[in-house]
């Protein structure tokens, strides 16, 4: 069961995430020969104050 985890800043709409998940699922099915119903896409919206890049808070 392929699981794709995507962490991002808040602000994307449901429709944006839905469209991206559909396309990501299609790629996993095509390239990894997984069954469509087995692909999982998980979004985690993480506030900017919880990100650190290069040792510095974002």
Question: What is the Cα–Cα distance from 36 to 14, expressed in whole angstroms?
Answer: 20
Query: How many CB atoms neighbour CB 24 within 10 A?
Result: 15
CB 15 within 8 A of CB 41: no
Confidence of residue 58 (pLDDT cuts 50, 70, 90): confident
Catalytic one of 2, 12, 20, 24: 2
- What are the pLDDT digits (tens) for 1-57? 999 999 999 999 999 999 999 999 999 999 999 999 999 999 999 999 999 999 999
- Which token pair is 3? 């699981």
Write down the pTM of the prediction: 0.86
SS3 labels along 12-56: CCHHHHHHHHHHHHHHHHHHHCCCHHHCEEEEEECCHHHCEECCE
Annotation says 2 is catalytic: yes
């Amino acid at each position: 069961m392929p699981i794709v985890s995507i962490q991002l800043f808040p602000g994307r709409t449901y429709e944006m995430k839905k469209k991206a998940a559909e396309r990501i699922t299609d790629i996993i099915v095509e390239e990894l020969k997984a069954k469509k119903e087995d692909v999982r896409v998980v979004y985690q919206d993480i506030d900017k104050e919880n990100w650190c890049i290069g040792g510095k808070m974002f």
